[in-house]
Amino acid sequence: MSFIKKILFVFFISLPISHSFAAMFSYVQDTDLTDEDFGVGDIRFNPDGTKMFLLSQQKKDTFSAIYEYNLSKPFDVSTKSYTGDSERCILTNGGDDDLNTNTAFGLDFTDDGMKIFVGNGALSAGEDKDRVYRFDLTSPYDVSTCSFVNQTSNLDSTALQNDSNAKDREAIERKNVLRGIEISNDGTKLFVIFHEFQATPDQTRLLEYQLSTPFDLTTISLVLTAGIELQAQNENPKGLRFSPDGKRLWTVDHNNTATGKDITQISLDVAFSTASFTVDGVVSISANNPQPSGIAFSTNGLKMFVGGDDSREVEEYHLVCPFNIISGKCPPITENKDRTGIAMAQIEIAKRTIDQSTDTALNRLKWIRRNKDKQNLTNLNIDFNFTNQKLASLTEIVRTSAAKKKKKDKDENRDIFYWSEGSVAIGKVGDTSISSTKEINTNRITVGADRFIDNKALRGLAFSVGRSNVDVGNTGSNVDADTYNLTYYSTSPMKDDEKFVDTIIGIGKIHSDILTVLDGKELTANRRGKQIFGTIKIKDEIKKDNFIFIPSGRFDIGHTLLDDYEEAGVGGIIVEKQHVRTKNLRAALAMVEDISNDKYTIKRHGKIEYRADIDRSSDFKYKYKEGSGTLTDTLHVGALHNITGELGIDIVLPENYSIFIIYERDQAIDYGHTDNLHIALGYLPNKNTNIAIQLEGINNTESNYVFSKNINDFILDFKLSNDLMNPTEYQEAAINLTGKF
């Protein structure tokens, strides 16, 4: 940009402007098209921003074309490189009404990048060339493979111009000139801007057309109940663009006057329908562009691009909030799937932390009941080596401290039993209409102590440390959370030794690191939270031969209070305090089978549970840091109906060594799932035993279990590797015995 241009820009933004130009978007840079020698008629990008497409105007050639550029940095026009003349799409249909230079206005792609639509306006008086053309590609977003398919009839006709909400055309020569187009995502709507510049005054109209066959331009008809008069906002438009959801549109005023060079923003009550609308406002860009032509946005709406047919450049602007240039009109975050996914992930982590803390305590109670005939119910001598370095170090501290405590209390409190449990959880919630895919990975270590109050009632305390990671979308957005929970648990008989009431009360803390990546820009934040939760469970035990059937009912309640936070970075939001509620009703049927023999006590068990999540909503209140009021989105996570399946086994060896393993699948109906693996090792007085657990990731669910035992200075190592999701497809085992002779 020249020195004079920079001075004009600074002077402009220093003026008091009612539409708050400086607050809602800012000029960043432009890119020069002098080498290609054409003015810009319109602009488009492929979804990931690595390709830019420009519709040519004012080119020395006698035809119009679509030029293709590669961007080494997505949506950064300064990194463009021209692919060459051989990669252009030359816009010709082989007839006498080809698109001529200076007549092509409006460019649009289908979402899959396989179809192109181009508008053509009359070049001189008396011409009937106001049409829209369709070209198909053989390779997505490779315009060099374009070929003509069909076109509309002449749009400058009474049947396709009059009797709509946009009023009728003027009865003069060169009545209409097509100046911009957009096609709806489903291909059933076509929108066209016309300029009648010989009318008095100039008349500008946006007409809405119906395509009875999607994307087939030959099936066009005018929608009489729609359309917008634009002459109050745009005297000479050259550009039309809709937001991806079809709820907003923008037009560009090309008029080379003191009142021109504007962008108009209009909100629609119904997506891709101009029957009912509100004009949000008009913003000038005259400080940077003498004759704007064409407009586009980045995929996430935080960058805006405006072309120039006179300046031969593309300008890049950064927006305060997505798909908005008018103060006070920022859209909700639910219009961005990654943003919504980040907000929902925070709610899901809060709920999942309560569920896991509760389930761990209940697992302990179930293990005790299945093994109540044991004299020593301590379950502690274990080293869980998690892949996560933070958890790995914490487990070592916990193991060492607990061992010291056990030695100290060995003779004083024989009725106090110590235990530990490690768990890994993986899950996935697929892409939805408002949220990107979320991939879940959780590691957790729990230590506890309990004692019998009498022969049947038991009380205990457990402390859990966990690490949750949720990856949102595919651009790097994620939430990392450290969780800390203290849980009191108890079980008591109701009448006899078969009917019991289990009670859980817990508190906790959540420390979250939040990273949101939008259009390559990183927005970071930290959030803290506090939790309180409780559970009551009633169950019965029905014995038959070697089987025990356990029907149960359960009610969970929890409250998580998340602190406010502010994102660091341009386009960030300020989030208010948030209340996340947990309310679950459960009904389950479990089964335990005793398959013990003379040497080993073996019990295998399973469970099927129905869970009704009766409080799935939480209000997410926020505002954009620059220029917006408070917005509230009520987010719904999870599903009302959930089914949980569980399989597990207990093994007790003659030397009082024991292990239990539980695999659990929690399936939310029409929402997503979580897989949980719980492992606990029993007490072995005089031998050292180590268990290593490694989980390799959400997509590669390979798990490695390493068992190491010292037997009279001989080391017995056992390693088992398999895929949790496909246990029969990947499997490896090895046994090694080493020692000194």
pLDDT digits (tens, 9 = 90+) for 487-499: 999 999 887 667 8
pLDDT digits (tens, 9 = 90+) for 292-318: 889 999 988 889 999 887 778 899 998
Q: How far apart are CA 345 and CA 435, in angstroms?
A: 10
Phi then psi dihedrals of residue 408, to 5 deg: -65, -40
**SS3 state at 398:** helix
Q: How far apart are CA 180 and CA 105, in angstroms?
A: 5
**What confidence score (pLDDT) does residue 341 get?**
95
Q: List 229's β-bridge partners, or say none.
A: 205
Question: Highest mean pLDDT: which of 54-63, 190-199, 427-436, 470-479?
Answer: 470-479
Provide the 8-state DSSP code for 606.
E
pLDDT digits (tens, 9 = 90+) for 544-586: 888 999 999 999 999 999 999 999 987 789 999 999 999 999 9
Q: How far apart are CA 137 and CA 215, in angstroms?
A: 14
pTM over 0.75: no
Number of residues written out for the chain: 741
pLDDT digits (tens, 9 = 90+) for 81-127: 999 989 999 887 655 555 655 678 899 999 999 999 999 886 665 56
Asked if 252 and 260 count as a contact pair (C-beta separation under 8 A), the reply is no
Closest by CA to 66, choosing from 31, 115, 32, 124, is 115
Q: What average pLDDT does this structure show over 595-618?
A: 91
Buried b (16+ CB within 10 A) or exposed e, 266-281: bbbeeebbbbebeebb
Closest by CA to 26, choosing from 42, 40, 44, 13, is 13
Q: How far apart are CA 640 and CA 668, in angstroms?
A: 8
Question: Highest mean pLDDT: which of 53-57, 196-200, 695-699, 703-707?
Answer: 53-57
Element (H, E) at 709: strand 702-711
pLDDT digits (tens, 9 = 90+) for 373-417: 665 666 654 444 445 555 555 555 545 444 544 444 444 445 788
Residue 372: partners with Cβ closer than 8 Å, 6 or more residues away = none
**What confidence score (pLDDT) does residue 686 get?**
36
pLDDT digits (tens, 9 = 90+) for 511-527: 999 999 987 789 999 99
- Which amino acid, residue 79? T
Map 149-204 to HEC letters: EEECCCCCCHHHCCCCCCCCCCCCCCCCEEEEEEECCCCCEEEEEEEECCCCCCEE
pLDDT digits (tens, 9 = 90+) for 96-108: 555 655 678 899 9
Residue 68 has pLDDT above 80, yes or no: yes
Whole-number Cα distances in Å, 736 to 80, 709, 719: 59, 11, 9
Q: How far apart are CA 127 and CA 119, in angstroms?
A: 15
Residue 145 has pLDDT above 90, yes or no: yes
**What confidence score (pLDDT) does residue 262 get?**
86
Q: How far apart are CA 71 and CA 374, in angstroms?
A: 69
Phi then psi dihedrals of residue 167, to 5 deg: 70, 175
Phi then psi dihedrals of residue 650, to 5 deg: -115, 135
